[in-house]
Structure 1
Amino acid sequence: MTKDIIALTDQLPDPRTLAAALLSGGPDLRLRTLGEGAVVQLTDDDGHPLVSIESPILLAVPHEAQRLLGVRAEQLGESVWWTEVRATAATHQAQRLAAVVAGRLVTMLGGALWPPGAAEEGIGVVDTHDAQPPPAPHPEQPAVDVLTDTAAVLFQDRPVLTLSSWLGNALLSAAAEGREVQIVTPPHTLLTLPARLALTEAGGRWVVREETGDYYDGLTGAVLGWQGDSFAPSSSASRETGGTGTAAAFAPVPNPDERQLLLSLRTCHPPDERLLLGGALDACWQHLTGAAPAAWGTAEPAGLRWSRRNLTDFARERAPRPTTLVVVGKPERPAIAALHILRTADGVEEDITLGIGYGKDEEPPFAALSDLADDLASHHNLRSALFHVRTGRRDVNAPASFETPPIPLALALGPEEARRAGARGDRVPVSQRPLPIGAQRRPGSYFCLGEVDSAANWEALRSLLGYLRSQDA
């Protein structure tokens, strides 16, 4: 697995400090930059990359380090600089060199090192003369460990696999080149909601390596093997698994005491210079957690304090290009969202996927869903919203094992969608009459699909969608 070491420092690692840390590993190293200086690499004399460092990230909310690494916020200051040091997986010398560089940063600037055991390696210099040359890297993607004609393979050994800037850039680059991104992790790694959405949308694969050396897909359980130039379902999987082709390690993990409330919603705003984005997401957080979001960013960790104005300014600067953001909540109520902002012919669209976690004796606020839908239709230009509940981890992360599908609870349509579908209350195929939401003169509709945790809600949703589509047609 790739050796990633993160320096969480009290002060900003300025260019001089970074250079001193990079060259502290020994005199026979060379520096070069990628991406207009966004990434600095250490190479050997022949130009083989050994260690890559991305620009430091300011975490204005230190509990992001606790969410992703398990480093408690009280170990850090009010704000912390996150500097990621990534070593190539090809040589042990590169992995030790990463520890030396990150350890030097923490020594000079104060803070903490992750993983804690890396501190023991981060002392002294590293002799790279006899290091095995790593394979030819991707010219612009140092996160990619193996590059073939069909796949870009990344190795990660972390407790939580995030939608980091490394991963985001690798997904974009692979899509442009017609390659599939494949991320290899150990079984204990968890996948965040934004990372799962991005990997699924890009058609990537989560490859889990068991201690036995076998591989399986962390999202589907399919037994995998290296098939020439990429990981693919094993041709012998059906024989080895009794015809199922599913790894035994993908068996469901009992988790009856923890649940997740999941929301998928879309808004569309008229283009206006006074438009302030993020209102629908803020409303979801307020109705369902009692507080505003804590932080946002273009990747994980999300290091910027929540600000609708700053978020809007950032998206406006990028327009007409789409913008994808990560938004997180406070640690006492785990919540995370992926926000996609897109300029279309209809206006400015926000596509939101939000997950909120609940533990034992924490009941999700089901009664608040209709009020939230009314607020979204009244003040935030709601197009549609779908609410689900599922048994799942309180931290809203996905394990590399089977999870029961979510159960739909309710569907909400904004005024325009409700009018177009002709959703008359006396004909809609659901047990409860739809509730009007939004303005009285031009209301939307809120459809309750049934009892919480009832599998029959799926059939109710299918019937409702079929009816609405026939009316729209």
Structure 2
Amino acid sequence: MGPSFAPHPLEDGAGPGWSATETRAPVIALTAGMSDYLHRVTGDGARAIVISGPHSRMTPVLADALAAVRGHWVIRTPEDPAAVGYDARTGRRLAQITDVLSTTAQLAASDLHPVFLRAPISSRLQLVATISTRHRVSRPVRLGGVIEAATETLVDSAPSAWGPTEPLVAAWDRDDLTERTRRRMPTESRWAARASADHALLSTLQVARTSEGLEETTRVWAELGGPGDARTADAALFARRLLARAADIGMPLLGIAFATIGAPDLAVRPLTPATPEPLALLVGPPGIRALGVDAASWVAQHGGTVVGSPRIPGALVPLGSVDGGGWTRLTEMLGTLDGTRLSALLGVAPEVAAALRTADADAAASSAAPAAPSSPRPGSEA
């Protein structure tokens, strides 16, 4: 696709390799207009920058889409004479908006904007999972199975609505989702879904055609509860149940689930993230093959359960709890692999590997920020 000659209606500024849109909306969502803007910008070979004030929040659906196109969210801070704003992801002070396009190897606490270090007004425990599944095109395929498994497992409900953009208003229909995805092939499809339940749940679905078949990457954000809620104590159990369900859908590749702290509505705030805690890891048959091990032997070595088909099994390994221990266990487990096998394992499902790297970056950001909570325990803060 060649460069567009007319700027997009949402474009408020542009330069070589970038385009920016600025909004004062309290909630920034993947509306039809925003989706079209991101498609236009990326089609032109540029990177999108979404600019807002410090009190705006972004839906997980838009945050996921923005990350997929290597875009950025910048918080403008006009009261700060030393910086025009900061990177909502890392908290890095920005002398100019386009500085967000450059990377910094490691941030010190002095590099972080003080607004980024504000404590949230209230917090809830969330379960966040990324699961990659492969489907053979030689067999009938119904997409969205992991979304249904997640809503049933985490909020005891069925998905209520879905669509390509927000608000999500179409009644949930796996067959319709599958057919619309099929018609778009070989173009990649991205969808989102939500559940109407006592606890908020959102999910996104990315479907791409590969040489191996259809690869379906599902991301889930689910609110588990606040202080004193019995559900929060069962976070690790919820994670294992979800990944066990996913192990029986299609050909599971990789899956990982974390506990973290967030807002009741699941929206992303431009504040220091809490340290995400790994709860459970699913390694499907292709991952087991990449490791060059026997599933039963690997489970015996690291603990866990053999899951999936008895003929081509995978492994479900518990990691930590909301009280910690997950990063240590994950590091110990992956640390036994040589570089070739580790690369092969992560290469089985690049989207899950990216989620793991993002969580690791969030953990690093939390450690750099003195005000960040050290473990995903829900609570209220001033």
TM-score range, shorter chain: 0.7 to 0.9
> Are 1:352 and 2:218 an aligned pair?
yes
CA RMSD of aligned residues (A): 2.8
Corresponding residue for residue 68 of structure 2: 201
Indicate conservation of the 8 Å contact 2:278/2:321, yes or no. no
For 1:438 and 1:351, how far apart are their aligned partners in 2?
18
Where structure 2 has 5 or more consecutive residues not aligned to the other structure, the ranges are: 102-106, 345-382
- Note closer, same or farther for the CA distance 1:439–1:156 as it changes in structure 2 (3 Å cut): same
> Are 1:463 and 2:343 an aligned pair?
no
- Tell me how far 1:394 sits from its aligned partner: 2.1
The structure having more radius of gyration, on CA atoms, is 1
Match of 1:210 among 63, 69, 77: 77
Corresponding residue for residue 59 of structure 2: 192
Which structure has the higher relative contact order (CA within 8 Å, separation 6+)? 2
Indicate conservation of the 8 Å contact 1:265/1:385, yes or no. yes
Q: Secondary structure at the match of 2:273?
A: coil
Q: How does 1:382-401 map to 2 (within 5 A)?
A: 382-401=252-271
- Note closer, same or farther for the CA distance 1:187–1:331 as it changes in structure 2 (3 Å cut): farther
Indicate conservation of the 8 Å contact 1:209/1:216, yes or no. yes
For 1:325 and 1:160, how far apart are their aligned partners in 2?
19
Aligned-partner residue type, residue 142 of structure 1: P
Aligned-partner residue type, residue 143 of structure 1: L
> Are 1:152 and 2:19 an aligned pair?
yes
Q: What is the TM-score when the length of structure 1 is the normalising length?
A: 0.63
> Are 1:335 and 2:201 an aligned pair?
yes
For 1:154 and 1:328, how far apart are their aligned partners in 2?
26
Indicate conservation of the 8 Å contact 1:425/1:433, yes or no. no
- Tell me how far 1:289 sits from its aligned partner: 1.2
> Are 1:171 and 2:38 an aligned pair?
yes
> Are 1:418 and 2:296 an aligned pair?
no
- Note closer, same or farther for the CA distance 1:179–1:289 as it changes in structure 2 (3 Å cut): same
Match of 2:50 among 183, 203, 209: 183
Corresponding residue for residue 355 of structure 2: none
- Tell me how far 1:466 sits from its aligned partner: 3.9
Aligned-partner residue type, residue 77 of structure 2: E
- Tell me how far 1:457 sits from its aligned partner: 1.6
> Are 1:294 and 2:160 an aligned pair?
yes
Indicate conservation of the 8 Å contact 2:155/2:197, yes or no. no
Runs of 4+ off more than 6 Å: none
Q: How does 1:9-408 map to 2 (within 5 A)?
A: 139=6, 141-210=8-77, 212=79, 214-226=84-96, 230-232=97-99, 244-254=110-120, 257-272=123-138, 274-330=140-196, 332-360=198-226, 361-362=228-229, 363-364=231-232, 365=234, 366-408=236-278
For 1:256 and 1:333, how far apart are their aligned partners in 2?
16
For 2:100 and 2:290, how far apart are their aligned partners in 1?
44
C-alpha offsets along residues 74-133 of structure 1, whole Å, 9 cap, x if unaligned? xxxxxxxxxxxxxxxxxxxxxxxxxxxxxxxxxxxxxxxxxxxxxxxxxxxxxxxxxxxx
- Tell me how far 1:256 sits from its aligned partner: 7.1
Aligned-partner residue type, residue 186 of structure 1: G
For 2:23 and 2:73, how far apart are their aligned partners in 1?
11
C-alpha offsets along residues 14-37 of structure 1, whole Å, 9 cap, x if unaligned? xxxxxxxxxxxxxxxxxxxxxxxx
Percent of aligned pairs with the same residue? 25
For 1:150 and 1:443, how far apart are their aligned partners in 2?
46
Where structure 1 has 5 or more consecutive residues not aligned to the other structure, the ranges are: 1-136, 235-240
Indicate conservation of the 8 Å contact 1:165/1:300, yes or no. yes
Q: Secondary structure at the match of 1:378?
A: coil
- Tell me how far 1:268 sits from its aligned partner: 0.3
Instruction: Return 289-298 or 175-184, whichever deviates more.
Output: 175-184
- Tell me how far 1:205 sits from its aligned partner: 2.0
- Tell me how far 1:192 sits from its aligned partner: 1.3
Corresponding residue for residue 20 of structure 1: none
Q: Secondary structure at the match of 1:467?
A: coil
For 1:306 and 1:261, how far apart are their aligned partners in 2?
22
Indicate conservation of the 8 Å contact 1:428/1:464, yes or no. no
